[in-house]
Amino acid sequence: MKKVIVMSVAMLLFSCCCQHEQKLIEKAAYNYSYAMANYQIDEAEKYATEETKNSTLKMAKEIVKKVDSNYIKSDMPATIDIVDVKVVNDTCAVATYHKVTPLKDFSDTLELRKRGGQWKAYVIPRRVAPPVQQDTSKAGPAIRSFQDVKQGK
C-alpha cells in the first residue's frame, strides 16, 4: 500500500513539474514570436539564445532598416497563438505557433533551447554547404567532357 501511495505522489509531482516546464516553454515561444511578428527585434533579443542574437536577429535588424515603414505599419498588429509544445529533451523543445497579421495568416514552428535555466528561441539560418574542393595535384589526365563519355572514350 505504501508503494502505491509513494508512486502516486511521485507521478503527481512529475506531472506538475512537466506542466510547469511546458508553460515556461510556451511563454518564451510566445514572447519571441510576438516580438518578431511585430518587428520588435530589440524585444525579441530578450527571449533568444546568443547564437540567435548574433545571427538571425543581427540580420533581421539590417533587413528591417531597409523595409518601407509603410509596409511594416500595414503588417501590424500581429497576433500569435501557441498551438502546441513538444519537449524533445531536457534542453530542447519545439513550439508550433499560428501568426495572423493584416497581410499574413500562417503556422510555423520555433525551436527553443534551455540556456542558463531559461528557455530561449533558437533560430539559426540554414546555410548551403560550400562546394567540395577536390585535390587536383594528384589528378591524372583532365576530366573527360560529356561528349567523350557519351562516345565511350
Q: What are phi and psi of 121, to 5 degrees?
A: -70, 135
Over the stretch 100-132, which tens digit does the pLDDT of each residue have? 999 999 999 999 999 999 999 999 877 644 555
Helix H or strand E encompassing 65: helix 58-66
Q: What are phi and psi of 114, to 5 degrees?
A: -90, 120
Q: State how far the Cα of 20 lies from the Cα of 13, in Å rounded to an integer.
A: 11
Over the stretch 13-70, which tens digit does the pLDDT of each residue have? 444 446 889 999 999 999 999 999 999 999 999 999 999 999 999 999 999 999 999 9
Q: State how far the Cα of 106 lies from the Cα of 32, in Å rounded to an integer.
A: 16
pTM over 0.85: no
